Amino acid sequence: MKISVAIDGPAGAGKSTIAKLVGEKYNLMYINTGAMYRAVALKASENNLLPEHVDEICNLISSMEMHFENDDLILNGENIQEKITMPSISSIVSGYASLPEVRTILVKLQRDMSNKFDVIMDGRDIGTVVLKDSEFKFFLTASPEERAKRRFRELQERNLECSYDQILKDIIERDYKDTHRATDPLRKADDAIEIDTTNLDINGVVNVINEYIEKGK
């Protein structure tokens, strides 16, 4: 049976870490769609393209070859995982990810991947747009404060200077942008299972998802 698993939720809810672990258990190709939008933001900023430069950004995407290796995003032969997880990219990615033209291009790429492979994808519009026919949909959430703590610890472990208050502010702003954008806003699919990860560790969330998949296989 072909399997596709959709995981949606706001920034810092643990989507990527959890999706990787579930993907390993069921031998699914993990596709971090958020990383793909971050890659667009990275290259656009490097080329001094603001979100209003829509045509130039779309032309830029056409020259971008993206694939994943060991969960890292490879862009035109370069591992850019470290670059796209910097706070400077987190603060601008919504402006590019909200562009309908950009979303149309990347959603097609993501759907093409799902048609070829058993996949697990995480993002903001997987269950509602990209994999809307998936039999396994999950919506992960957590309080903004808990998500800010997680991001703060992650950046500290990378020895990057950061402020918890600023991270919390950025997360709240990102939530607002993601849920209020005109094209494919962040929302829970009607048939998705919602999991509040605030008081759950990673293994606890993974176990909940695995139980649902086992029942549905």
Alpha helices in the chain (DSSP H): 15-26, 33-46, 54-62, 81-84, 87-90, 93-97, 100-116, 144-157, 164-180, 202-216
| Residue 156 reports pLDDT greater than 80 | yes
Query: Which residues are documented as binding site for ATP?
Result: 9-17
Average pLDDT, whole number, for the chain? 94
Question: pLDDT above 70 covers what percent of the chain?
Answer: 99
- Cα–chain-centroid distance for residue 29? 14
User: How do residues 38-48 score in pLDDT, each as one tens digit?
Assistant: 999 999 999 99
Rounded Cα gap, residues 206 and 211, in angstroms? 9
**pLDDT at position 205:** 96
* pLDDT of 130 strictly over 90: yes
φ/ψ region of 73 (left if φ > 0, alpha if ψ in -120 to 50, else beta) reads beta
DSSP 10: -
Q: What are phi and psi of 216, to 5 degrees?
A: -90, -10
pLDDT for position 68: 86
Q: Give mean pLDDT, residues 80-88.
A: 94
Write out the binding residues: 9-17
Query: What digits encode the pLDDT tens for the residues 164-216?
Result: 999 999 999 999 999 998 888 999 999 999 999 999 999 999 999 999 999 98
C-alpha to C-alpha distance for 125 and 30, rounded to whole angstroms: 16
Q: What is the distance between the alpha carbons of residues 54 and 190, in angstroms, rounded to a whole number? A: 32
Asked if residue 142 lies in contact with residue 198, where contact means CB atoms within 8 angstroms, the answer is yes
Instruction: Note the pLDDT tens digit of each residue in 94-120.
Output: 999 999 999 999 999 999 989 988 999
The pLDDT value recorded for residue 170 is: 92
Which fold, 4-197? Rossmann fold (3.40.50)
Question: For residue 144, how far is the Cα from the chain centroid?
Answer: 17
How far apart, in whole angstroms, are the C-alpha atoms of residue 137 and residue 73? Answer: 23
